[in-house]
Amino acid sequence: MSKKTILISAYAVNPYKGSEDGTGWNISREVAKEHPTIVITRKNNIPHIEKFLKENSTDVHSNSVFIGYDLPAWAMWLKKRIGERGYVLYYYFWQLFLPLFIKKNKLQFDIAHAVNFHSDSVPTFLWTLGKPTMWGPVGHHPKVKAQFLRPIYGRKAAIKDQFYFIFKWLLRNMDPFFRLAVKKVDTIFVINSSIAKVMNAPDSKVKIVPAVATESTDSTATLNTDQFNVLSVGRFHYMKGFDLTIEAFAIFYDSLTQELRDKTQLILVGNGEEKTRLKRLAKALKIDHKIKWVEWVERAEMKQIYQNASVFLFPSHEGAGMVVPEAMSYGLPIVTLDNVGPGELAGNAGLKVKVEGYSETVMALAGKLIELQRDSNNARFYSNLSRNRFKREFTWGAKGNQIKAAYQKIQKSVAIFHPSSELYGADRILVNAINAMPKDTKKSVYLKFEGPLVKFIKENTTNTEVKVIPFMPIIYRGIFNPRGILTFIGEWFRFRKYFKKQHQKHSFDSAYVNTLSTSFILPFLQQFKISSYIHVHEIIDSPKAIGWLTAQLANRYAKKVVCVSAAVEKGLIRYSKRIAQKIVVIHNGIDQIVVKPKIARGLLKFYLFGRIMPKKGQWYLLEALKQLTLDQLKDVQFTLMGGAVPGQEESLQELEKAIEKAGLKDIVVIKNFAPNITSAMEDADICLVPSMMKDPFPTTVLEAMSAGRPVIATNHGGAKEAIADSNGGLLVDPGKPSQLADSILQLIKGKATLPAMGRSAQKKYLSAFTKSHFNQNWEAFLVGNGFA
């Protein structure tokens, strides 16, 4: 099977940046290690991507196509004019019109993934493309508790945080497109455990994949006892909790002896609007001389800072924290709050403090610093935990594996329609076709009748459910009267309504319509935008109106038409020359019927398998036998194996009378149909398929050939395609009993040649008509036409 092609929408992608840009770049890079990817991003990112790829020609992004997409110039002008909120509005409409851009450019893909720039309040619209859709990582920052906000940062910050929280709630709950996105996507990647509840998303769809990750480093912190450096990194913003960092450090510092104080320092790396306030706090606590303030620095210098640190103190209230995995990559012990953000990122590698009152929280943070400073063994223990957790969870490779694993769980879903529920040829071929589909594809089979096929499907296929729907509309002779036509129309509308709900439930990727008798289902499959193909087993000579109508339906509404033989193909083209471009011929294939070699001696046995009806050739056989003498038929028996069609039991009675009238009662016997014909085939010497109709590709011929039994068949339909170019059988013209009589007599007289004929028939079967041949051809068809 070919790899799934992933379409990624990533508003920000830049290999030279971090944060959202880095997330877009690194996730798409990890996906491209296993899957062909189409990455759609802002046009201004393309030059940076091209520059990087030119400098790194062996990079895995050679497996990717990058496409720039922007809204019209007026939208860009409006975005800049409005200011900060304009960026949010622009991004919303960038997403809204993205599916139209994808359709216009006819981009072909298997899974859509809206990767970055996602908060918990901006929907994705990729689900409208009708493909499995992944969303995220989706971010969410919880509301900062009042005791950690207003007393420290003032009324303005408290109002801002409250407004932010209400605004996000309104976007999530008042925008119908957000609710639709949650309902329609297959998987939502979230950065922490609080988001599923906030988004009101079912647990079955949610997978926690923190957006934060970083490149692995071979460097580690020294954790030496000569200097105890407490490090914190981030933007100086009320959500980051730097006030807690400074307050906790002050208490920790006061607990130290003068000697230890001289070896202790707090290093704060970052910048932001609260820096002045935080400096005032440090001065009020009389520890400003022990704080080293560092602006944002280059990666090489930051590496040195991490290596010289003893502990990473990060009591942030946010829902993520990129710097936590970065600190863990150097093996730093992490001291943080026990929350859904940094607390979840730190996991068992963190020394976490329960969020209670302000003073209690500060004291608990200080206590963790004291614990690490006094016990170097404990510090090394948490250092090892930190480093190991980073390697396991927070490399881009680990994150990519989580996402790719979710891709693999996406199941394609196919709807399958079949008119009968017996175990004759087309019924068994249906099961073969189901088994040739990918095992991870979910198959929903819709049948009109109860019957042995229901149990057979359940026992012999995987990942398949069967539903018997009595009002499923199928074409059969009994409907061709005013009442029958009205009933058919009513069933069609009823089944369409029923199946629409089924499609909403299963989101079918494709539909397999088996036989022309179910072809009236094709129009509403197209209406529901379900790609469909029809498997044609019929050659319809009469009534011509039905032959013409079903051919037109197949041509207009099916993406592809699979014919079981060239004879079926020819029959369709008679009614619609244009259908030829859609047709693929795939001969049936079956499991071999293994029987003991038959030695032609004693009673010579001919078997005819099939429903009791004139078109199957039972009466034609009787006419042929009438032309042979009883002496010529001495030591010969003909077994007609197959029951009457339900509702047409009079056919069996008529046949029995015809046998008796012809004086053949001792030579011709009738047996009921048996689902397993192995014992009957083992008893047979010769198989008869004297069909009066153009049998499309009779399974009985293949079964006989597989068992090494010679065949006499009528020279029309698909039987001649099976027997041709072998010495395994004889062909006779339909409607000419004398030819059939001559062929029967030829084999009676030449019964010594039957084993050789059987071997020849079996050789032809093994060369073209095994289930393995069928599976290979069917799989190539499904994959090549986008059905798998």
CATH of the domain at 546: 3.40.50.2000
Confidence bin at 221 (pLDDT 50/70/90): low
Per-residue model confidence as pLDDT tens digits over 336-371: 999 988 998 898 889 999 998 999 999 999 999 999
The number of distinct structural domains making up the chain is 4
Quickly tell me which residue has 């020359």 as its tokens: 577
Largest Cα span, the chain: 125
What tokens appear for 229 in the block? 């450096």
What tokens appear for 480 in the block? 């061709």
Asked if 719 contacts 539 with a C-beta cutoff of 8 angstroms, the reply is no
C-alpha 90/C-alpha 99 separation (Å) is 15
Per-residue model confidence as pLDDT tens digits over 7-28: 999 999 988 877 778 888 989 9
Whether 133 and 271 map to the same domain: the answer is no
Burial class of residue 521 (count of CB atoms within 10 Å of its CB; 0-12, 13-18, 19+): buried
Whether 139 and 273 map to the same domain: the answer is no
Last residue of a domain, one of 208, 239, 271: 208
Is pLDDT of 616 > 70?
yes
**Residue 700 belongs to what domain range?**
604-769
Q: Please check whether residue 788 lies inside any domain of the structure.
A: no
The three-state secondary structure class of 602 is coil
Whether 350 and 426 map to the same domain: the answer is no
Burial class of residue 529 (count of CB atoms within 10 Å of its CB; 0-12, 13-18, 19+): exposed
Whether 323 and 416 map to the same domain: the answer is no
Nearest Cα neighbor of 201 from 189, 213, 216 is 189
What is the per-residue pLDDT for 243? 94
Rounded average pLDDT over 761-775? 95
What is the per-residue pLDDT for 96? 92
C-alpha 178/C-alpha 205 separation (Å) is 15
Whether 25 and 170 map to the same domain: the answer is yes
Q: Which residues contact 270 (CB under 8 A, 6 or more apart)?
A: 233, 234, 235, 236, 294, 295, 296
User: What are the backbone angles phi and psi of residue 110, rounded to the nearest 5°?
Assistant: -110, -35
What is the per-residue pLDDT for 1? 38
C-alpha 5/C-alpha 35 separation (Å) is 6
Q: Please check whether residue 223 lies inside any domain of the structure.
A: no
Cis previous bond, 734, omega within 30: no
C-alpha 563/C-alpha 586 separation (Å) is 6
The three-state secondary structure class of 420 is coil
Nearest Cα neighbor of 327 from 297, 296, 349 is 349
Measured CA to CA in angstroms, residue 666 lies from 627, 636, 660, 670, 746 at distances of 16, 10, 9, 11, 21
C-alpha 766/C-alpha 404 separation (Å) is 40
What is the per-residue pLDDT for 668? 96
E strands, 119-226, in order: 133-138, 187-190, 206-208
The three-state secondary structure class of 532 is strand
C-alpha 311/C-alpha 372 separation (Å) is 8
Confidence bin at 217 (pLDDT 50/70/90): low
Q: Please check whether residue 84 lies inside any domain of the structure.
A: yes
Whether 66 and 200 map to the same domain: the answer is yes
Beta bridge partners, 608, equal: 640, 688
Last residue of a domain, one of 558, 585, 612: 585
Q: Please check whether residue 593 lies inside any domain of the structure.
A: no
Whether 170 and 285 map to the same domain: the answer is no
